[in-house]
Amino acid sequence: MDFYFEKQGRHIVCTDREGGVRFLPNRQYFEHREWRLQDDALLFDGYSNWFYAEGEAFRGLSDFTLSFLFAPEGYAVPGDGLFSFFDREAAAGFAIRLEKHGKVTVEFGDGHWPVSFGSIHGQARKCEWNAVTAVFRQEAGWCDLYINGILSNRKQFRRHAPLCWPEGRAYLGKYVDRKPFGEEAPVGVFYGLMKRVCLEARALSDREVKALHGGWPLGEATGPIPLDRGLYRDDVQRPQYHLIAPGKWMNEPHAPFWYRGYYHIFYQANPHAPIWNNIQWGHLVSRDMVHWEDMPLALQTEETGPDPDGCWSGSALVDREGRPRIFYSAGNDADFPNQAVAMAWADPEGGDKLPVWKKHPVCVVRQQEGWMGEFRDPFVWLENGTYFMLVGSGDADNGGGNAVLFSSDDLLNWTSHGFAVDYDYEKNTELGHVWELPVLLPLRDENGGVVRHILMFCACQIENDVVETYGFLGKWDPVRMRFEKDGEKAILLDLGHGTFTGGCGFVTPDLRSVVFTIAQGRRGGRKECQAGWAHNGGLPVELSVRGGRLHIQPVRELASLRRQCLLSLQDVSGEEADRQLAGIRGNRLYLRLEADGEQAGVTVLYGEKEKTVRYTPETGRLEALDETGAQVSRYRGEIDRVEPDGETVTLELYLDHSMIEAYLNGRKSVTLRDYIEGAGERGLRLAGKLRHVKRLEVWEMDSAYPQEP
C-alpha cells in the first residue's frame, strides 16, 4: 500500500492508492493549527497535526515492510512517531520513532516482552529528504532497520513468533504507547515534511529496499522552514508589540548586545512544539529594540558538540578584537555535572545581522564549586581590559543561591574568585537555594555618572513560593573583584508575583543599562499547547538611579509604536475622565495617567473579567487585584513601599493583548497576565478615588512585527 496526502474540504487525509486504509486527521482542538501541503508533502507541525486509523487493517500482518520518505525540521525527547500502533505495557504492537540527533528506534512486542532497538549506522538528517524502512520477518525471526539505503541495525527474536497487536488505533506522525504517552500527551508528534508512506504485506529483500531508497530524492535540501507569525494574527491573547518568538516555545531572552547598527537578542527556543524540550537558541535583530526581525537559529544542539542535551541560557559581548561572542550553558547528560560553559562566535562572512555562529569545540569552564550540578547561565563582560564572568549556582555554606565570579585575559582560560557577594540567607530565604541568570550592570544618575551597580538574578529552588527576579544594589570593585551590597535585603524588581522573571541585561552604545525579561505565560501547559505558543518577553526597561533611588522605565524607543492618540485630557475631574475613557476599547493600548487623589489606578476589563493596578499614596503600596478583589501582586512590606516624594502620581500602563505592564513614577513595576474568553477587545476605566486628573493620554499601539498588523 502506497499512502499519499490529499486535501478534502478543509482537512487533509492520508489514504492508500487502493483505498483500503484511510488515516484521518486528529480532531483535538488546536486554536491556530495549520494543515500545509508543499507539493505532495505534508508539513507536520510537531505538536498538533497527526493521523489515526483503526487498527484492524494491521492486525493480520506477519511479514511486512514499512517505509517513509520524510524531512525532519527538528528532533525532540523522548522521540516522535513516524508510525505507532504500540502498547509497551501489554508488550504489543509496532512503532518507529525518530529521536534526538536523527536516531531511529523500532519497537514491537509479542505479548510477552517488549523489544526495542535503534539505528547504529546512519541517522536521519535535518532539513533534507531521508528514507527509513523497517522490515519485519516473522518466520526468519529478525527485524531490519534501513536508513538512507544502509542497513543500520538488525534485531533478532524467536523465530515464527507472531506480533501481538494491541486494541485501539494506529497513528501516523505521532508516538503513542498508551502509558505514559497517550494520545493526549503533548509530545511525540513528528516535526517536518512527510512525502511518502509505503506498507507492503511482505518482507522486502535487501536489494528491493535499496532500490526503493535509490529511487527517492535522498539528501535534497528542504529547509529550514520558517515559523509563520501570520498563524496568530487573530489571537486575542498573543502580544504583538512585546518581544515574542514567531511561534511555539519561548523561554527567557538572553545575550543582548549591539553590533554595527543592530541590537541582537536571543531566547530559549523549542521550534518543535510549545513545550519545554530540546532547547536551542532563537535569534532576533532590531534597529531600535522595538521592531524585531526573525533570524535563523543561532545555536542548535549537536550530538558530537559540547551541548548534546541543550543550548541553555547565557550572554554575549563584543571582544577586544571586535568579534561578537556568545557564552552559554551547554547541557550534556552523559557528564557530571551536566552543565558547563561553552562559547561560540559570529561568522564575519554572514553579514551584520550575524545569522551564522560557530562553536568552540570544547567547554571553556567546568564546575569546580557551588552546588554540584547547578552551574549555569554565564554573564560575561569586558571592563578595563579584563574579561569577567558570573555563573549561577548555590553556596553550600549558607544554603542559598549565589554566583561564581571568574576572570580571564583571553576568554578561554578562566580563574575563579569565589562567590560574587556575601549575604545572610536566613534574612533572604525567598532568594532560593540556586541563582539563575546572574547579571551585573552599572547604574548611572541624572548626570550620567556611575553611582551604583545592581547584581540581578533569578531566584530558583524556592520553598513554597514562585520564581522571581531580585537584585542587590551596591558597588562593584573590579580590582578587588568583589560586589559590596548596600543593605541586607534584596530588592524585588517587579511586584507581579512571578510573571516578570528571567532577566538579562547589557549596556547600550549610549550607556543605558537595559534589561530584558521573560513574561511567564501563567495559563498552564495544556492551554499553551492548544494555542500553539507559550511565553513572551517583557518590555525592555532601563535601570538607572534618580533621586538616589533605583529607577525602572521602559526604553524611550517604545514611543515609536504609538499609532494614534485616542484620548488626550488635561485638568479634568476623575468622573469626566472616566466617562470619556469608557468609550475606548482595544487590545494594544498605552495609557498615561497623572493624578491627584487618595488612590490612582486603572482597570482593564472584558465582560466580567478585570485586572486593576492601583497606588495608594498614604500606604505607599502599589498593588494589582482581579475582579473579585483578590490580590494578584506581591507586597513584602516596607521594603516594597513606593514613595513619590511630593511628585504627581504618574501611572503608565501598557496593554498588549494578554500582557499588562504598569510603571509607577519609574519607581516600581507590576507585570500581569490578562486572558479573556472570546474574541473581543478589552476596555479601560479609572480605578481609585480620583478627584482631579492632571493629564490622561491613551494611544493605540502598533505591532512590532511586519507579519502581525
Q: Are residues 355 and 462 in the same domain?
A: yes
Cell of 193: 515534511
284 falls within a domain: yes
- The length of the chain in residues reads 709
Burial 403-412 (b: 16+ CB within 10 A, else e): bbbbbbeebe
Cα 483 to Cα 300, 417, 421, 442, 478: the distances in Å are: 34, 12, 5, 12, 9
* Contact predicate 133/82, CB 8 Å: no
**Whole-angstrom distance, CA of residue 540 vs CA of residue 556:** 10
Which cell goes with 222? 528542504
Based on the domain organization, do 532 and 582 belong to the same domain? no
- Residue 33: strand, helix, or coil: coil
Buried b (16+ CB within 10 A) or exposed e, 30-67: bbbbebeeeeebbbbbbbbbbbbbebebbeebeebbbb
Rounded to an integer, the average pLDDT of 439-466 is 94
Q: What is the mean pLDDT of the chain?
A: 94
Domain holding 118, by residue range, is 2-214
Using a 10 angstrom Cβ sphere, with 0-12 exposed, 13-18 middle and 19 or more buried, the burial of residue 534 is buried
Please tell me whether residues 492 and 591 are part of one structural domain: no
- Which CATH number is 296's domain given? 2.115.10.20
Name the domain boundary from 492, 508, 538.
538
Asked if residue 423 belongs to a domain, the reply is yes
Categorize the per-residue pLDDT at 709 as very low, low, confident or very high, splitting at 50, 70 and 90.
very low
Which of 197, 214, 231 finishes a domain?
214
Check residue 58 and report its DSSP letter: G
Q: What is the pTM of this model?
A: 0.95
- Are residues 168 and 32 part of one domain? yes
| Whether residue 152 is found in the same domain as residue 254 | no
Classify residue 298: in a domain, yes or no. Answer: yes
Same domain for 260 and 172, yes or no, is no
Is position 229 within any domain? no
* Percent share of the chain, pLDDT over 90: 87
Q: What is the pLDDT of residue 15?
A: 83
Q: Is the pLDDT of residue 462 over 70?
A: yes
Regarding whether 596 and 526 lie in a shared domain, the answer is no
Nearest alpha carbon to residue 124 among 186, 191, 188, 78: 191
Give me the pLDDT at residue 182, please. Answer: 86
Q: Is the pLDDT of residue 9 over 90?
A: no
202 Cβ partners below 8 Å, 6+ apart? 63, 64, 65
C-alpha 437/C-alpha 422 separation (Å) is: 18
Helix or strand or coil: residue 587?
A: coil
Q: Would 14 be classed as within a structural domain?
A: yes
Express the helix, strand and coil content of the chain in percent, nearest 5 each.
5, 50, 45
Among the listed residues 466, 542, 469, 452, the one whose alpha carbon sits nearest the alpha carbon of residue 503:
469
**In angstroms, what is the C-alpha Rg of the chain?**
28
d(CA 625, CA 581): 20
592 and 462 co-located in one domain? no
Cell numbers found for residue 425: 540567607
Task: For residue 664, give the CATH number of its domain.
Answer: 2.60.120.560
Contacts of 101 (CB under 8 A, 6+ apart): 75, 123, 301, 302, 303, 308
Query: What single-letter DSSP state applies at residue 478?
Result: T
Note whether residue 98 is domain-resident. Answer: yes
How is residue 638 annotated by DSSP? G
CA dihedral angle for residue 659, residue 664, residue 669, residue 671, rounded to 10 degrees: -20
Cell numbers for 72, please give them.
525532519
Please compute the mean of the pLDDT values over residues 169-183 and round it to a whole number: 90
What b/e readout covers 113-131, taking b as 16+ CB neighbours within 10 angstroms? ebbebbbeebbbbbebbbb
pLDDT of 708 > 70? The answer is: no
For the chain, the first-to-last Cα distance in angstroms comes to 46
Tell how many helices (H) and how many strands (E) occur in the chain.
3, 51
- All three cell numbers of 131, joined, read 528514507
Here the cell at position 383 is 571592563
Rounded to whole angstroms, the Cα distance separating 422 from 487 reads 11
Q: How confident is the model at residue 201, as a pLDDT?
A: 92
> Is 547 contained in some domain?
no
3-state secondary structure of 32: coil
Amino acid at 109: G
Residues 605 and 493 occupy one common structural domain: no
Spell 369-387 as b/e; 16+ CB within 10 A means b.
ebbeebbbbbbbbeeeeeb
> How is residue 128 annotated by DSSP?
B
Strand stretches in 332-385, DSSP E: 339-346, 357-359, 365-366, 376-383
Please say whether the beta carbons of 349 and 356 come within 8 A.
yes
197 and 166: one domain? Answer: yes
Q: What is the pLDDT of residues 118-168, one digit of tens each?
A: 999 999 999 999 999 999 999 999 999 999 999 999 999 989 888 999 999
Residue 277 clears pLDDT 50, i.e. is over it: yes
Question: Which H, E and C letters describe 172-233, residue by residue?
Answer: ECECCCCCCCCCCCCCCECEEEEEEEEEECCCCCHHHHHHHHHCCCCCCECCCCCCCHHHHC
DSSP class of 539: P
| Residue-wise pLDDT tens digits, 343-375 | 999 998 899 999 999 999 999 999 999 999 999
Any idea which of 14-18, 83-87, 481-485 has the lowest mean pLDDT?
Answer: 14-18
Q: Rounded to an integer, what distance in angstroms lies between the CA atom of residue 423 and that of residue 486?
A: 11
* Cell triple for 58: 494491521
The residue-averaged pLDDT of 585-612 equals 94
Same domain? 591 vs 495 = no
Summarised one tens digit per residue, pLDDT across range 640-694 is 999 877 789 999 999 999 999 999 999 999 999 999 998 899 999 999 889 899 9
Q: Does 333 score more than 50 pLDDT?
A: yes
Domain for residue 580, yes or no? yes
One domain for residues 172 and 292: no
- Domain tally, the chain: 3
121 bridge partner residues? none
Predicted pLDDT at 178 = 79
**Cell of residue 316, nine digits:** 554575549
Alpha carbons 538 and 628: distance in angstroms, whole number: 26
The last residue of one of the domains, among 194, 214, 234, is 214
Which amino acid is it at 31? E
Taking 80 as the threshold, does the pLDDT of residue 500 lie above it? yes
Question: Would you give the distance in Å from CA 211 to the centre of its chain?
Answer: 42
- Residue 707 has a pLDDT of 57
Which of the pair, 14 or 702, is modelled with greater confidence?
A: 702
